[in-house]
Chains A and B, each alone.
Chain A
Amino acid sequence: MAFLDITGVRKAYGPNTVVHHVDLAIERGEFVSFLGPSGCGKTTTLRMVAGFETPSAGRVVIDGKDVTPLRPNQRNIGMVFQAYALFPNMTVAENVGFGLKVAGKPPAEIAPRVEEMLRLIKLPQLGGRYPYQLSGGQQQRVALARALAIKPKILLLDEPLSALDAKIRVSLREEIRAVQRQLGITTIYVTHDQEEALSMSDRIVVMNEGRIEQIGTPFEIYNFPRTRFVASFVGTLNLLEATVAPGGGRLEIDGQPVIARDGINGAAPGTSLTVALRPEAITITDAGGDRNRLAGTVEEVSFLGSVIRIRVRFRDNAVSLDTFNDPAIAPPERGKPVTVSFAHGDVHVLGAA
């Protein structure tokens, strides 16, 4: 049995089911992200773990204990909100110590713990300040310290960085991850930013329309998306319409043959399938060997600095690919014919289009 077990959890508001049958097991100390577009039910699922929403069906078990009927204040969970939610009437130290004070701990025990937490988030000097005297990034770090001070069983973060500007977002996400590793605390992190999820998580749960689309490590999710949705939501994937060639077993894209190493699940000839290709799997400089090759024309060339993004059109389909900017080689010109190539193993068949 895993540390956190979410079993058959569903949530409906009146006639609208916003979370359908979610099953998820999270191990102790794991950092798991919920990734998905707006409105897919990430927050709702997280709030059911926290106890702010009651599941319409299913159970939430933490450390062997069924917490489904418990109120949020009985679950011992640390929560960090997008809007910081520091108590404006209390100083930083009072905010961090709030949970301990509520639990009836003596001041002699609270003070050192608050100090320890402030050192953990690298703001040991700011205990006496009020929230309005802090920057957004500092406020969110204090919110993290406040959530961790009570030694919660699980840490829940709902888009904690989305109110901050890009630079702080990157440094703070590294800091959150470092603190999480240091304490070994089981964490669920909600985000709609794929870069955030990919860079921070042990595992990612990709959600769409209230369902889990795929659960896997960032490597698995990025390289082996199992559904069309995951493929299109994570990364800048190329999606191509292919048909099964006459005779079966092979594919055709705009009339040109393509082989998928993993096969096509015995789809009948003439069937339309969607095929996914990572931009970084495609090259225009032919390395030779046994690869798929598609001839097309250069449609668009965008100079992105260290990388040049090239768009190649075949007939109905087009792909984007990235090449490194090599000052010695001029980038291809628009309208020129090119042949792109990619390994058989890089062709991912996503199912019927």
Chain B
Amino acid sequence: MKRSTVGPWIAFGLGALYFLIPLIATFEFSLRMRRGTYSFDAYAVVFADPRFQASFSYSVLLALITIVLGVMLVVPTAYFIRLRLPKLAPLVEFITLLPLVIPAIVIVFGYLRLYNSSSWLPFTSNARATDLLLAFGYVTLALPYMYRAVDTGMRAIDVRTLTEAAESLGASWATILFRVIFPNVKVAILSGAFITFAVVMGEFTFASLLDRPAFGPYLQLIGANRAYEPAALAIIAFLVTWACMGLLQLVLAGARVARQR
């Protein structure tokens, strides 16, 4: 007897509609800037807006800094937890999950209290320092994804034995980390990096409350004041995120092919 697949297809269709209709509607709306005909005018306006270029490149730069900081923090941590302190693994996992549980607004208010201009560490006293604080904040926000990705990558290789093999061959800690561990969790790091990128590009709360010219607050500003451009921006933001996910899939598929070869 052949099981009917009608039910699952209906469920899938409903889910797809739930996701696609707003997207298509937004896209359609973004093309209607010129009266009576479809055009990409809204996109042209957006791309020509210097504030778009500034905020977009600001966020890209911040995302890259966040990725570098995050990798430098997470890879050695995950490595030493696996190697030396496996007992602490549940605690570290819990800590890295906290950013998903604690609302961003709570974190940023904490930052403002701790690092205000009259505090011990006045991060908010000038723009560059605030940028740094924002990057640190983003590292925190991306921690759950980055840590999980890297830790999963390390589970796939026998970290302990590889380390001991390298050590018996005379390698130092730095050599082991950079020549043995990093290359073997490269794919995991990359996948963490793409998610981090997507998170940072769309972030609003931190950037807005720390008053930094990031892409998120710009989206909000345009959304409040214009008609067609926000729709175009939403589609652009969606495409950026989507491109990240696509790259992630490509990297993972590439790694799988390489392993099977």
**Which A78-101 residues have a C-beta within 8 angstroms of B?**
78-79, 81, 83, 85-89, 98-99
A221 within 8 A of B: no
Is there contact, CB below 8 Å, between B170 and A73? yes
Is there contact, CB below 8 Å, between A85 and B165? yes
Which residue numbers of A lie inside 8 Å of B, CB to CB? 50, 52, 71-79, 81, 83, 85-89, 98-99, 102-103, 132-133, 143, 146-147, 150
Provide 28 A-B residue pairs closer than 8 Å at the C-beta atoms, listed in order of the A residue.
A50-B164, A52-B167, A71-B167, A72-B164, A73-B167, A73-B168, A73-B170, A73-B172, A78-B168, A81-B165, A85-B158, A85-B161, A86-B165, A87-B180, A88-B157, A89-B180, A89-B184, A98-B169, A98-B171, A98-B179, A99-B170, A102-B171, A102-B172, A103-B170, A132-B259, A146-B165, A150-B169, A150-B170
Is there contact, CB below 8 Å, between B170 and A76? yes
Besides A75-B168, A79-B164, A85-B158, 10 new A-B residue pairs in contact (Cβ under 8 A), listed by A number: A50-B168, A73-B172, A79-B168, A81-B165, A87-B180, A89-B184, A89-B186, A98-B179, A102-B179, A150-B170
Is there contact, CB below 8 Å, between B169 and A146? yes
**Which B49-92 residues have a C-beta within 8 angstroms of A?**
none
Q: Which 9 A-B pairs have the closest CB atoms?
A: A99-B169, A79-B168, A89-B183, A85-B165, A85-B161, A72-B167, A102-B171, A73-B170, A73-B167
**Which B238-261 residues have a C-beta within 8 angstroms of A?**
259, 261
Of B166, B167, B169, most A-chain CB atoms within 10 Å: B169
B118 within 8 A of A: no
Q: Give min CB distance, A342 to chain B, whole Å.
A: 48
B162 within 8 A of A: yes
Is there contact, CB below 8 Å, between A98 and B168? no
Q: Give min CB distance, B170 to chain A, whole Å.
A: 5
- Note all chain A residues with C-beta closer than 8 A to B179: 98, 102
A72 to B172, CA, bound (A): 10
Is there contact, CB below 8 Å, between A77 and B168? yes
B175 within 8 A of A: yes
**Which B131-168 residues have a C-beta within 8 angstroms of A?**
157-158, 161-162, 164-168
Is there contact, CB below 8 Å, between A102 and B169? yes
**Which B164-200 residues have a C-beta within 8 angstroms of A?**
164-172, 175, 179-180, 183-184, 186
- Note all chain A residues with C-beta closer than 8 A to B175: 102
- Note all chain B residues with C-beta closer than 8 A to A103: 170
Chain A: CB-nearest residue to B162: A85
Chain A: CB-nearest residue to B168: A79
Chain B: CB-nearest residue to A86: B165
Is there contact, CB below 8 Å, between A79 and B259? no
A83 to B162, CA, bound (A): 10
